[in-house]
Chain A
Amino acid sequence: QQQVKQSPQSLIVQKGGISIINCAYENTAFDYFPWYQQFPGKGPALLIAIRPDVSEKKEGRFTISFNKSAKQFSLHIMDSQPGDSATYFCAANFGNEKLTFGTGTRLTIIP
């Protein structure tokens, strides 16, 4: 069964700190791992994505770290800002299969 397990369920980080959200998957066929960001009252929006041929991808303050042998990937938000407060979803898929989403992490950045 295709599953993506995400943790923690909620996270509080001080402004300027590093936010880290983790995901683990079971299906070794997965070859695409995006992260989506969702603000209250809005739909999810693609934030950053990675394919398993690289171990890390960085876009501004957002970095995905990917560990193929452990079947884990994580989102790191450097210098976290109050505007980063949102719910974050990891996801995975392969080929023509639908995206399988994680259960979401509610991130709150406090001043």
Chain B
Amino acid sequence: DTAVSQTPKYLVTQMGNDKSIKCEQNLGHDTMYWYKQDSKKFLKIMFSYNNKELIINETVPNRFSPKSPDKAHLNLHINSLELGDSAVYFCASSQEIGVVEKLFFGSGTQLSVL
């Protein structure tokens, strides 16, 4: 029973398209995140939501828009995809804001923009 699940696992698309990645956690956590991992494996936080409220927005282009319909879901919508958006995107969750003792990550969505 997967704790943090995200779909799709792979996403291949053309430049200029709009795409979404979905994430769900069944841990009952209050806080969810989106991270971007580039080709060099560097992990960078993009957004953090606590109970549906945006907490962290790390100067991500406004083509990226997170949406949290409820505290168990955090989706990522990307408009006008660019080549540089190619990366692995990870959803994560933690018990509550500020308590980052344990982040639970999903398995990632590998986005390839052609």
A interface residues with partner B (beta carbon < 8 Å): 32, 34, 36, 38, 41-46, 49, 87, 89, 93, 95-96, 98-99, 101, 103-104, 106
B45 close to chain A: CB less than 8 A:
yes
Contact with A99, one of B45, B90, B107 (Cβ below 8 angstroms): B45
| Pair count A-B, CB < 8 A | 51
* B contact residues, range: 20 to 34
| 27 A/B residue pairs, CB under 8 Å, sorted by A | A32-B100, A32-B101, A36-B103, A38-B41, A41-B107, A41-B108, A42-B105, A42-B107, A43-B90, A43-B106, A43-B107, A43-B108, A44-B103, A44-B105, A45-B104, A49-B101, A87-B41, A95-B98, A96-B97, A98-B45, A98-B56, A99-B45, A103-B40, A103-B42, A104-B40, A104-B41, A104-B42
Chain A residues lying within 8 Å of B43, measured Cβ to Cβ, are 44, 89, 101, 104
- Given A103-B40, A103-B42, A104-B43, the answer on whether A43 and B100 have CB atoms closer than 8 Å is no
Bound-state CA distance A23–B10 (Å) is 32
B interface residues with partner A (beta carbon < 8 Å): 4, 40-45, 48, 56, 90, 92, 97-98, 100-108
